[in-house]
A and B are shown apart, each in its own frame.
Chain A
Amino acid sequence: MSRDWPLWEVFVRPRGGLEHRHVGSVHAPDAEMAVRHARDTYTRRMEGVSLWVVRSNDITASDPDRSAEMFEPAESKIYRHPTFYDLPDAVKHM
């Protein structure tokens, strides 16, 4: 091998009803081998019932240097949370 195989990000569904979660990555020449490697590397103890692999380079991520402008606007919108509303004690089940 003259260079590394591409990197694949691995996602595991721990059990039915839960979403797939990112657990790490593996190198593999193709998707089929990536699934096999992911199985041996990340599910040796019944950690999951389903695996996804996706080429790392196919993921588009937000720029960490711009995370302030990206996420801070949500910080001031406290009225989006139920606790913002101070209701009389008489109001039940809300």
Chain B
Amino acid sequence: MYTTEMDKKAADAGLAQNDAEDPAKVARFEERVAADEFIEPNDWMPEAYRKTLVRQISQHAHSEIVGMLPEGNWLTRAPSLARKAILLAKIQDEAGHGLYLYCAAETLGTSRQEMIEALHSGKAKYSTIFNYPTLTWADIGAIGWLVDGAAIMNQVPLQRTSYGPYARAMVRICKEESFHQRQGFDLLLQLVNGTPEQKAMAQDALGRWWWPSLMMFGPPDDQSPNTARSMRWRIKRETNDELRQRFVDATVPQAELLGLKVPDPDLTWNEERGHYDFGEIDWAEFYAVVRGDGPLAKERLKARRDAWDQGAWVREAADAYEAKQAQRSLAA
């Protein structure tokens, strides 16, 4: 009782109780989050807070898991043993991130099985960025630098998110992400200092990954209806547009350092604002990819389901071994 394994009955009882949403409890909850207190698994919380978190954390977990696929694609083709080892380590980290986050979501009363099924049936969403193809080796550099870079911008403030298990998972994840971004930048640095073809490859990768990376921060604030409530509940700590701006400001000088051109004719330093101004994002494309129109959406899910199905014998063997051991210890 009261630990992190949610027994289903207790969770259901909790839900029934929450249906009424006792105003005194709601007020007490609002007071606690406003005072930056952490909410823990068995504390009372409004149903909408629980639902928002389950959705956000499980989507985040799915993104870590699906995110392994475009990189896994390149494991056997990495150009050196060192790059293979680095890429393998990064992919293994992403699996770990998925696991930390699934565990955090489970403390809210959902099960691992439900989440995996939602992902495999196509019901659950994951970050649209992983529905773009990785065409060349330079894409692996661009993913580390830009995609992990954008993820870090998003995740750093989440270390202080109001739900304790989510915040703790984010602390662990942030510690590991920095290596992901740096290995990507390092890879591109090597390419831009290589042959003209290699430099062109790096430029091409930046050209294709720049805008999708900016979209990772989500819709603009005025089209993001739940932002205000999530900010009040300290689920979100900064708005999509604030984080996007911070990412642009940090990344443009890095592109300059690589000698690469950001594919945005409107990009200019705004002395007065102390920030870069940048061009309009093509949100029609974003929503198309969210709807699963991305070139790779089907292939990603198929790869996920195949991995799950092909691993079934391992899970079955582990179950059989456990049953045999249990029987032996009974007999002894």
- A-side residues, CB < 8 A to B, are 1, 3-7, 9, 23-30, 33, 40-41, 44-45, 56-57, 59-65
Given the contacts A24-B103, A30-B321, A56 and B3 also touching, CB distance less than 8 Å: yes
A88 to chain B, nearest CB (A): 40
Partner pick for A3 among B113, B312, B322, CB 8 A cutoff: B113
- CB of A27 within 8 A of CB of B42, answer no
- CB of B111 within 8 A of CB of A61, answer no
Given the contacts A30-B325, A44-B92, A56 and B4 also touching, CB distance less than 8 Å: yes
Size category of the B interface is 20 to 34
Q: Does B47 contact A (CB under 8 A)?
A: no
A3 to B42, CA, bound (A): 23
- CB of B4 within 8 A of CB of A25, answer yes
- Chain A residue numbers with a CB within 8 Å of B168 are 24
- Identify which of B93-101, B196-204, B231-239 touches chain A: B93-101
A1 to B232, CA, bound (A): 40
- CB of B113 within 8 A of CB of A61, answer no
Given the contacts A7-B4, A7-B5, A41-B96, A25 and B318 also touching, CB distance less than 8 Å: no
Partner pick for A4 among B42, B99, B112, CB 8 A cutoff: B112
- Chain B residue numbers with a CB within 8 Å of A25 are 4-5, 103
- B-side residues, CB < 8 A to A, are 1-5, 7, 40, 42-44, 89, 92-93, 96, 99-100, 103, 106, 111-113, 168-169, 172, 176, 312, 315-316, 318-319, 321-322, 325-326
A33 to B323, CA, bound (A): 13
- Chain B residue numbers with a CB within 8 Å of A59 are 3
A94 to B263, CA, bound (A): 68
- CB of A41 within 8 A of CB of B99, answer yes
Give 14 A-B pairs besides A9-B4, A44-B89 with Cβ atoms closer than 8 angstroms. Answer: A1-B113, A3-B113, A4-B111, A7-B5, A24-B100, A24-B168, A24-B169, A29-B322, A40-B96, A44-B93, A56-B4, A57-B3, A61-B3, A64-B40
B34 to chain A, nearest CB (A): 19
A69 to B217, CA, bound (A): 44
- CB of A29 within 8 A of CB of B3, answer no
Partner pick for A26 among B3, B99, B312, CB 8 A cutoff: B99
A43 to chain B, nearest CB (A): 10
- CB of A29 within 8 A of CB of B5, answer no
- Chain A residue numbers with a CB within 8 Å of B100 are 24, 41
A25 to B42, CA, bound (A): 16
A46 to chain B, nearest CB (A): 13
- Chain A residue numbers with a CB within 8 Å of B111 are 3-4
Given the contacts A56-B4, A61-B3, A1 and B315 also touching, CB distance less than 8 Å: yes
- Chain B residue numbers with a CB within 8 Å of A9 are 3-4
- CB of A29 within 8 A of CB of B99, answer no
A40 to B98, CA, bound (A): 13
- CB of B1 within 8 A of CB of A30, answer no
**Can you name 11 A-B residue pairings with CB atoms under 8 Å?**
A3-B111, A4-B112, A5-B318, A7-B106, A28-B318, A30-B321, A30-B322, A30-B326, A33-B322, A41-B96, A57-B3
- CB of B319 within 8 A of CB of A29, answer yes
B265 to chain A, nearest CB (A): 42
A25 to B112, CA, bound (A): 12
- Chain A residue numbers with a CB within 8 Å of B5 are 6-7, 25, 56-57
- CB of B1 within 8 A of CB of A61, answer yes
Partner pick for B43 among A5, A29, A41, A64, CB 8 A cutoff: A64
- CB of B318 within 8 A of CB of A33, answer yes
B303 to chain A, nearest CB (A): 20
A41 to B169, CA, bound (A): 12
- Chain A residue numbers with a CB within 8 Å of B43 are 64
B209 to chain A, nearest CB (A): 27
